């Protein structure tokens, strides 16, 4: 037990990530009291039944009142609208953060709505599953995963203190913390998460549209690689729609590079350049080994669930 880092935490949006955060914070004993609000009455009912929070309300302002830490865990394009409802009720000196998968657009949307007397420290836990909702959450989700904080360019001591405190919170609930510039975050995540999802959505879509291969065959023989793509392509449509809209520039930049490399591969196949193919496949095998060595492989002990990175 670490002792409460934030006496009261308010979570706006109690889906997979919001509910996991509550479970992890309770497990670590770093909050005394939790308030939850969500747009969905069904979610609020489930939060109540699951006993996740002391206060469960449909009113954002009511949830954030007196909270020392306010976490926005709603889809990326909804952050600004949720912050607008909370703004007038925030406690002066509170730390406000989020878990959105894109940082530049979210930081801008939140900053536009929040008052000057709170500390905005945007964040992103690089952990998730393809599930949604409060029942899908679990306390171990963030264990040994990275959480990236993208603080504002403020050097005053009070703000730096708020960043340190939030970093201590994430560390206490099991995560590794890295501080990064928001633009760099968006580029890194475009490579490691957004592009892989786009490829998965595309390949599963292509297979579904093929006329020469039946849907039954696609499912029956999916172990040949396709199966792993279907898991990624089962990720929440709202969340991923928002990510591609909000991280357009970085995704298009990486997609441009990817398309060039794909063209080169296509040429190598057409001209039978076996050595070129072998060289690439050997290099990528090394990257896979690096991922495993970094302890970021989801098939390792993961509490019986797939945790991949968004
Ligand atoms: P989720 O399971 O769908 O939960 C989001 C919840 O927020 C839903 O219950 C939703 O209600 C509610 N909501 C939407 N707009 C709201 C508003 N204005 N006010 C209050 N509640 C609102 O989603 P999630 O997977 O936890 O994702 C939440 C955030 O975490 C996203 O920004 C995502 O980018 C980020 N993230 C996700 C993952 C992941 O793997 N899933 C990983 C890292 C970060 P309705 O269903 O009624 O809309």
DSSP H helices, the chain, are: 16-28, 41-50, 60-64, 79-87, 104-113, 157-172, 182-189, 195-209, 215-220, 226-232, 237-246, 248-270, 274-293
**Do residues 158 and 214 share a domain?**
no
* Domain end residue (candidates: 132, 161, 180): 180
**Do residues 50 and 78 share a domain?**
yes
Which residue's entry shows tokens 């929040």?
114
Evaluate: CB of 141 within 6 angstroms of ligand 1: no
**Do residues 117 and 19 share a domain?**
yes
Asked whether residue 298 is domain-assigned, the answer is: no
CB 180 within 8 A of CB 150: yes
**Do residues 93 and 141 share a domain?**
yes
Beta bridge partners of 308: 128
pTM flag (> 0.85): yes
**Do residues 111 and 123 share a domain?**
yes
Q: How far is the CA of 139 from the centre of ligand 1 (A)?
A: 17
Total Cβ atoms within 10 A of residue 275: 9
Give the residue, out of 10, 11, 16, with the most ligand 1 atoms within 8 A of its beta carbon, to mutate for a pocket test: 16
Evaluate: CB of 36 within 6 angstroms of ligand 1: no
Evaluate: CB of 90 within 6 angstroms of ligand 1: no
Write out pLDDT tens, residues 211-237: 888 888 988 888 888 999 999 999 999
**Do residues 174 and 195 share a domain?**
no
Contacts for 289 with CB less than 8 Å, ≥ 6 apart = none
Confidence (pLDDT) at 304: 37
Write out pLDDT tens, residues 274-293: 999 999 999 999 999 998 88
- The total number of structural domains that make up the chain: 2
**Do residues 10 and 137 share a domain?**
yes
Q: Which domain holds residue 261?
A: 184-293
Confidence (pLDDT) at 54: 98
Identify the band that residue 2 occupies on the pLDDT scale cut at 50, 70 and 90. Answer: low
Evaluate: CB of 19 within 6 angstroms of ligand 1: no
**Do residues 147 and 201 share a domain?**
no
Cα gap 231→243, rounded to integer Å: 18
Q: How far is the CA of 14 from the centre of ligand 1 (A)?
A: 7
CATH number of 193's domain: 1.10.3660.10
- CA neighbor of 243 nearest in space, from 204, 185, 190, 178: 190
**Do residues 127 and 162 share a domain?**
yes
Q: What are phi and psi of 301, to 5 degrees?
A: -45, 110
């Amino acid at each position: 037990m670490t002792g409460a880092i934030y006496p009261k935490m308010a979570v706006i949006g109690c889906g997979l990530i919001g509910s996991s955060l509550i479970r992890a914070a309770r497990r670590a004993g770093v909050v005394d009291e939790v308030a939850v609000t969500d747009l969905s009455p069904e979610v609020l009912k489930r939060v109540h039944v699951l006993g996740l929070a002391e206060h469960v309300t449909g009113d954002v302002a009511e949830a954030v009142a007196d909270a020392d830490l306010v976490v926005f865990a709603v889809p990326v394009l909804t952050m600004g609208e949720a912050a607008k409802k909370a703004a007038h009720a925030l406690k002066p000196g509170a730390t406000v953060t989020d878990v959105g998968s894109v940082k530049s657009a979210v930081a801008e949307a939140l900053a536009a709505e929040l008052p000057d007397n709170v500390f905005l420290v945007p964040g992103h836990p690089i952990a998730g599953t393809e599930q949604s909702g409060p029942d899908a959450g679990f306390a171990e989700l963030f264990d040994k995963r990275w959480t990236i904080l993208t603080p504002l360019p403020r050097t005053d001591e009070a703000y730096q203190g708020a960043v340190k405190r939030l970093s201590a919170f994430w560390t206490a609930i099991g995560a590794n913390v890295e501080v990064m510039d928001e633009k760099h975050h968006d580029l890194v995540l475009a490579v490691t998460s957004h592009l892989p999802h786009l490829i998965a959505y595309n390949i599963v879509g292509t297979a579904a549209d093929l006329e020469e291969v039946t849907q039954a065959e696609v499912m029956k023989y999916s172990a040949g690689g396709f199966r792993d793509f279907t898991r990624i392509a089962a990720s929440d449509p709202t969340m991923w729609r928002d990510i591609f809209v909000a991280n357009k520039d970085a995704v298009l930049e990486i997609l441009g590079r990817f398309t060039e490399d794909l063209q080169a591969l296509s040429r190598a196949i057409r001209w039978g350049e076996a050595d070129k193919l072998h060289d690439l496949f050997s290099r990528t095998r090394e990257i896979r080994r690096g991922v495993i060595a970094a302890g970021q492989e989801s098939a390792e002990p993961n509490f019986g669930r797939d945790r991949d990175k968004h």
